A and B are shown apart, each in its own frame.
Chain A
Amino acid sequence: MIFKSTEHYILSPELALAVNAAVTLEKPLLIKGEPGTGKTRLAEELAASLGTELINWQIKSTSKAQQGLYEYDAVSRLRDGQLGSERVANISNYIKPGKLWTAFTAEKRPVLLIDEIDKADIEFPNDLLHELDRMSFDVYETGERIAAKQRPIVVITSNNEKELPDAFLRRCFFHYIRFPDKDTLTQIVLAHFPTLQADLLTAALEVFFDLRAVDALKKKPSTSELLDWLKLLLAEQIAPSVLHDKQHQGGLMPLYGALLKNEQDVALLEKLAFMTRRPGR
């Protein structure tokens, strides 16, 4: 299997190699990178290109590893017991399979996305070690053993909020998605907006990379923000010449709200524009 760039998703050769290695060797692939560089998109596109199911396990700060395997709903069983329901006798009525269970028992080798694993408690990755390694686990309540029919393709994303334990890292392949350079970004944009005028694109990318070069920004705009911004530019029919005009709205690019997500950044940019303007006078 070779995973390549698709019509709407541009894949760097490095990432392609990483994905193909992980798929071939049946290892989980850990993806890190700036927000908005397409980490989650990768899993979606991979599943689409393989024509298989994507099982998305979105991690939150309250997520527990056990929830991925199965949950035993003791409270409702207790309640049923008090009400004298028939269901109580069979414990498996109260066991709800989690995402890993679903992935293990899927008919076709699925893509399992464990999204933003760093959001969870610090012990979370350790609790999944064995399950990801052996791809099997026991249900203690019923004594059943759930083993993977075939090893699912596991993609794990992290935003680097917490360090992951070494033992966990050792079992994964690791790839850091770097922010795309100008050429790659042009390809990505064209994949999304095939009819975009060349001069608008050049002007927009110039503004965008200038903006990213400002070190002090709290949140640098990323690919997904660029795409949103372009969409707006097109909708508002902004001419490329407006983008070249550095003094537009006191130095802010048109529709800057799509690129800058907090008011300190906007203020900073205005200040910088003001400072660059002054010596010219």
Chain B
Amino acid sequence: MLISFFLTLRKYGLKSSITELMDLLKALQQQIIFASTDDFYLLSRLCLVKDEGQYDKFDRAFAEYFDGVDVLDLASLIPDHWLLPGLIRQLSDEDKAKLASLGGLEQLLEQFKQRLKEQQEKHAGGNKWIGTGGSSPFGAYGFHPEGIRVGQQGSGQRRAVKVWDKRDFKEFDQNAELNHRAMQLALRQLRRFARTGLATELDLNGTIKATAQQAGWLDLQFQSERHNAVKVLMFFDIGGSMDDYIHECEQLFAAARTEFKHLEFFYFHNCVYEQVWRTHQRRHADAVSITQLLQTYHSDYKVIFVGDATTGPYEITYPGGSVEHFNAESGEVWLKRLLAHFTNAVWLNPQPQAWWSHYHSIEILQKLMQNQMYGMTLDGLSGAIRHLSKRH
């Protein structure tokens, strides 16, 4: 009765319920599909998974469960597809960064293909791969930049890959780092608190009062809709170590702009000092002093910092620590002033969370932010937004 299949899904963290399993069984009973694993994959996904963010988990669970069933079939197809994912892992970090940031450039694509070709030749007769790899190739596909689909070049091979092993939905997985789409999706959650309460168009109290004044003759009173009251200030770190992430930040920037009416952007370098900039060219004329900022914006603004927080610790804690100018008071002092005024603040950090503990500066800022630092993943962003939407 598919119980162990169901339990495998649950093991992978899918929240499928018993009702949904019943639906699947009912569908099988009605013989909507017949004796085809591919169709069963589609049908079970249709019934049991209700979010494309969960598709990847489902693919992995499905692969595990059906691993044994299909083993003969798989053996004949393996070599090519074991190779390709492995080769992607061979790209240097530099290439990955380039690919991630400029994935669309035709030139780069060519370069990438060439690189891939070279690598393939080097590893010709690559049975060794299978021997030494040891771990299962499924779920270990490594780096796969969006938009360059390596596995789909040869049409003959393509059919051979099992749908669930392709893991096409990996990019939607909640813990994966944000891509453009995922970023917008996550930021849309901000709307939830941005639009609290549907507007009441009929002013009931006013109507009762007015009707009473008219001695019982109905006199309808209307009031205007309530508007989005949420105000946000965003501070972006640019220059230096953040250049790797500038693309991601710009995406976040683009996604955020459409969501809010009261939204202001400021830029800083490494740490907030006595002034920030209004444009990312950081021109002198665009500078706004923090003091002025504190006077201009009321404390009900919510504040989001975006930065990798990876600097020399002295840039935060010592007066004169800034690399660009002499700051009379330390960045820490200025940041504390900001946080004292804007009590509702979070820090988004595009650095992978696993690396955080390796940087002293991140620890310092974590402490300053009272642990309100979040990774720039879907989960991190949702966490940050949950914190922001609490009433303070």
Contact A17 B33 (CB under 8 A): yes
Interface pairs (7), CB distance under 8 Å:
A17-B33, A79-B218, A170-B19, A173-B23, A215-B147, A215-B179, A264-B254
* Total residues of chain A contacting the partner, CB 8 A: 47
B113 contacts the other chain (CB 8 A): no
Tell me if B146 counts as interface (CB < 8 A to partner A): yes
Counting CB contacts under 8 A, is A263 at the interface?
no
Query: Is B191 close to A, CB under 8 A?
Result: yes
Instruction: Write out, one digit per residue, whether chain B residues 187-204 have a CB within 8 A of any chain A CB (1) or not (0).
Output: 011011001001100000
A162 touches B218 (CB 8 A): no
With A25-B27, A213-B147, A216-B247 already in contact, the answer to whether A172 and B107 are too (CB < 8 A) is no
What is the size, in residues, of chain B's interface with A at 8 Å between Cβ atoms? 49
Distance of B385 from chain A, by nearest CB (Å): 12
Query: Cα distance A82–B254 when bound, in Å?
Result: 55
The 8 closest A-B pairs by CB, nearest first: A214-B104, A169-B50, A176-B52, A174-B50, A213-B147, A213-B104, A215-B103, A21-B32
CB of B218 within 8 A of CB of A78, answer yes
In the complex, whether B30 has a CB less than 8 A from a CB of chain A is yes
Measured in the bound complex, the distance between the Cα atoms of B107 and A192 in whole Å is 33
Q: Is the CB of A21 within 8 A of B104?
A: no
Residues of chain B contacted by A214 (CB below 8 angstroms): 103-104
Which residues of the other chain, B, contact A170 by a CB distance below 8 angstroms? Answer: 17, 19-20, 50
- In the complex, are the beta carbons of B247 and A18 less than 8 A apart? no
User: In the complex the two chains form, is B146's CB within 8 Å of A276's CB?
Assistant: no
Known: A24-B27, A122-B192, A216-B180. A30 touches B146 (CB 8 A): no
**A166 interface residue, CB < 8 Å from B?**
yes
Closest to B29 in A: A25
Stretch at the interface among B40-48, B90-98, B325-333, B354-362: B40-48
Q: Is B198 a contact of A215 with CB atoms below 8 Å?
A: no
Q: Contact at A172–B50, with CB atoms within 8 Å?
A: yes
Contact, CB under 8 Å: A173 / B46: yes
Contact of A32 among B19, B42, B52, B247 (CB under 8 A): B52
Bound CA–CA A148/B163 (angstroms):
39
Contact with B along A139-177 (1 / 0, CB 8 A): 000000000000000000000111100100111111110
Residues in chain A near residue B104, CB distance under 8 A: 210, 213-216, 272
Is there an interface contact between A178 and B180, defined as CB atoms closer than 8 Å? no
Contacts of A61 in B (CB 8 A): 195
* B148 surroundings in chain A (CB, below 8 A): 213
B324 proximal to A (CB < 8 A): no
Contacts of B15 in A (CB 8 A): 166
Q: How far is the CA of A224 from the CA of B180 in the complex (A)?
A: 21
Whether B180 contacts A215 by the Cβ 8 Å rule is yes
Whole-angstrom CA separation of A37 from B341 in the bound complex: 47
Complex contact A215–B146 (CB within 8 A): yes
Q: Mark B97-114, 1 if CB is under 8 A from A, else 0.
A: 000000111110100000
Cα distance, A17 to B46, chains bound together (Å)? 9
Q: Which residues of A contact B (CB under 8 A)?
A: 13-14, 17-18, 20-21, 24-25, 27, 30, 32, 61-62, 75, 78-79, 82, 121-122, 160-163, 166, 169-176, 178, 181, 210, 212-218, 264, 272, 275-276, 279
With A24-B32, A216-B251 already in contact, the answer to whether A163 and B189 are too (CB < 8 A) is yes
Given known A-B contacts A24-B30, A78-B218, A162-B191, A17 and B50 have beta carbons under 8 A apart: no
Task: Find out whether the CB atom of B168 lies under 8 angstroms from the CB atom of A276.
Answer: no
**Most central of B146, B152, B180, B217 by chain A CB within 10 Å:** B180
Is B74 engaged at the interface, CB distance under 8 Å to the other chain?
A: no
Q: Residue on B with the closest CB to A168?
A: B50
| CA A186 to CA B147, docked complex, whole Å | 19
Interface centre among B23, B50, B105, B188 (most CB of A within 10 A): B50
Closest CB of chain B to A33's CB: distance in Å? 9
Name which residue of chain B comes closest to A280, CB basis. Answer: B107
**Contact yes or no, A27 B23, CB < 8 A:** yes
Distance (Å) between the CB of B45 and the closest chain A CB?
8
State A21–B254 Cα separation when bound (angstroms).
39
A209 nearest CB neighbor, chain B only: B147
Q: Which residues of A contact B42 (CB under 8 A)?
A: 13-14, 17-18
Shortest CB–CB separation between residue B37 and chain A, in angstroms?
Answer: 13
Q: How far is the CA of A218 from the CA of B146 in the complex (A)?
A: 15
Say yes or no: A82 contacts B217, CB within 8 Å.
yes
Q: Are A17 and B218 in touch, CB under 8 angstroms?
A: no
Is B286 at the interface (CB under 8 A from chain A)?
A: no
| CB neighbours of A166 from chain B (8 A) | 15, 50
B196: nearest chain-A partner, CB-CB = A122
